[in-house]
Amino acid sequence: MSRTAKTVAGIALAVLLAEFVCRFVLGFGDPPLVELDPEIEYMLVPSRSYERFGNVISVNAQRMRSPELVEGRPSNELRVLLIGDSVVYGNHRLDQSEIIGSRLQMALQERLACPVAVGSAAASSWGPANQLAFVERFGLYDANVVIVVQSSHDIADYPRSNNDYVPYRLETPKLALTDAALAGWTRFRSTAQQPSAALPYDVRRARSIEALGALLGLAQQSGANVVLAFHPTRDEALAGAPADPETLATYRSIAAQHGAAFFSFVDVRRSELHAAGASYLDQIHLSNAGADETAHALAKLLEDLGADRCPVEL
């Protein structure tokens, strides 16, 4: 065999080995997909299942990482709708059974005799405007309880019109190597400086606050029990307060204006982090333990609010 042939064979073997490692060891190659949308910006492709980094990710017909929701809620079913971003979605390092929605459904079902269903209307990097557009399009699925989860950055999270950053794939790459490269590029883009074309902070903040208020208003008008929950970053939890105290005050005010209960995870997170540091995978995303902690805290909150009761059959 010539030197050139050996070189080509060596390169091909290296590519095959890298493809094997990326697909079967690192878990690339089967990324969750989204569709672009002019109002919502992007949303999960419905009725799909994936395996990502060894975790199962199942998206139902309602474009949620949740079990299927029966159209027309049964009269005896307690239905909870979680609304948020990647914190609620669960990121790709948590299995379907480990995300907040799955754990909350289990926690409620353990003590209630009626059927319980929890939907997660969420996708990575969704802000209030994305969430509002989704609810305006698809409704609240007859939920008895609506829980909207927000963090400090969401107060000024308003989508850009040119879709220059989408934290998912629009189609499945042919190679796991390609998927891995795109994942690296996406992470780089997410930490890079915002493009100069982005709206000024004050404009984004005003529009985000307006969208959140409209979202809570729609939930309140539906007759559901409504909760606005504040999820702190890891640093905010350790500090015991948001980086900008005005953010928490603004969220409290918006909740009060629209008749929603307000709940902050700052104290819950701080106690857990000081004890074991186990609630977070990074600055914002929850670990398995953190998602479990969140679900049980929400279940206790609904119990305290009297919102975890089985509906009376008609």
Is-contact 124 85, C-beta < 8 A?
Answer: yes
Taking residues 152-157, report their average pLDDT. Answer: 94
Q: Which pLDDT does position 314 carry in this prediction?
A: 35
- Nearest Cα to Cα of residue 42 among 100, 86, 90: 86
Taking residues 129-156, report their average pLDDT. Answer: 97
**Percent of all residues in the chain with a pLDDT value above 70, rounded to a whole number:** 90
Taking residues 168-188, report their average pLDDT. Answer: 79
Residue 19 has pLDDT above 80, yes or no: no
Domain ranges (residues) in the chain: 53-160+201-305
Q: Which pLDDT does position 11 carry in this prediction?
A: 73
- Segment among 121-130, 239-248, 296-305 with least mean pLDDT: 239-248
Please report which helix (H) or strand (E) contains residue 117, including its range.
strand 116-122
CATH code that applies to domain 53-160+201-305: 3.40.50.1110
Select the more confidently predicted residue: 287 or 23.
Answer: 287
Instruction: Classify the C-alpha dihedral 258-130-136-68 as positive or negative.
Output: negative
| φ, ψ (nearest 5 deg) of residue 139 | 85, -170
Is-contact 22 29, C-beta < 8 A?
Answer: yes
Q: Which pLDDT does position 188 carry in this prediction?
A: 67
Model confidence over 208-232: pLDDT tens digits? Answer: 999 999 999 999 999 999 999 999 9
User: Buried b vs exposed e over 185-210: b needs ≥16 C-beta within 10 Å?
Assistant: ebeeeeeeeeeeeebeeeebbebbbe
176 pLDDT band (50/70/90 cuts)? confident
Residue 78 has pLDDT above 80, yes or no: yes
